[in-house]
Amino acid sequence: MIFRLDDTPPDHPFPNPALAESDPNGLLAVGGDLHPRRLLNAYRHGIFPWFSEDQPILWWSPDPRMVLFPDEIHVARSLRRQMRRGGLELRIDSDFAGVLDGCAAPRREDEGTWLIPEMRTAYLTLHRMGWAHSFELWQDERLVGVTLGSMFFGESMFSRIPSASRIVLVYLCEHLSANRFPVIDCQIHNSHLERMGAREIPRSHFQRLLAEAVETPCEATVWQTAPLDCRELEHVR
């Protein structure tokens, strides 16, 4: 059964994720809006929005769930060599709006984007509230790769140079591990992330991890870091 959220207030509770459809995998609810309170409530319960411009808002909680435990990140030798060359600087939240624009750009000429203007506005609002963050890779003061996260939920990434997204993912894992974030939500299966160490776990397992993690306080200073040369990452030393 797919639940309807039309005409419900932003604080309206979501259905139990266990009631999500198996085909399409994880579809739980339709409609509603992208008000910050609704979005945060969704993420707290392992639910995320994913829809195209010609669709209503679709809310998902797939089973199994793709996750990456930060300490399980796999860094290939070729990637280590690339990071040792230097010239790449890692930052957090230095150009959140630019990150969104990069993530929103179609990957190919014939493809659209899920990060439509309505979604962009919603994540900009979450960023101003301190919930959404961007992990960025810069070269010669030019934004070349990012991972966009809302809390510890990975939402989107893009690259403008080879391996940029992989380098940012290594940085993300090291930073979150140092600050005791237990897991990164990758949502659905992705072969690129799987090669980096991500794996699928049952939704029930993910929900247990999530319930504990969202109750663990996170200081604002976690996101207030100085730029870091990629050669300073632990996986490069």
Residue 167 in this model has a pLDDT that exceeds 60 = yes
Phi, psi of 204 (to 5 degrees): -60, -40
Residues 6+ apart with CB under 8 A from 233: 83, 90, 170, 171, 174
Average pLDDT over residues 171-188: 93
Residue 19 vs residue 237, higher pLDDT: 19
Domains plus CATH for the chain? 3-62 (3.30.70.3550), 66-232 (3.40.630.70)
Per-residue CA distances from 220 to 81, 131, 132, 151, 225 (Å): 33, 9, 12, 11, 10
Residue 172 CA to residue 164 CA, distance in Å, equals 12
Task: Indicate the range of 108-112, 175-179, 204-208, 220-224 predicted with least confidence.
Answer: 108-112
- Contact residues for 161 (Cβ-Cβ < 8 A; gap 6+): 139, 144, 145
Q: In the predicted model, what is the mean pLDDT of residues 190-209?
A: 95
Cα separation, 90 vs 101, in Å, equals: 18
Sign of the torsion formed by the C-alpha atoms of 186, 188, 194 and 199 = positive
CA angle 22, 28, 29 (to 5 degrees): 145
- The CA-based diameter of the chain, rounded to the nearest angstrom, is 54
The answer on pLDDT for 147 being more than 50 is no
Joined tokens for residue 43: 């993420």
Q: How high is the mean pLDDT of the chain?
A: 89
Query: Does residue 99 carry a pLDDT above 60?
Result: yes
Write out pLDDT tens, residues 112-134: 456 788 888 999 999 999 899 99
The closest alpha carbon to 202, from 28, 50, 25, belongs to 25
List phi, psi (to 5°) of 82.
-65, -40
Determine the pLDDT at residue 228: 95
pLDDT at 158 over 80: no
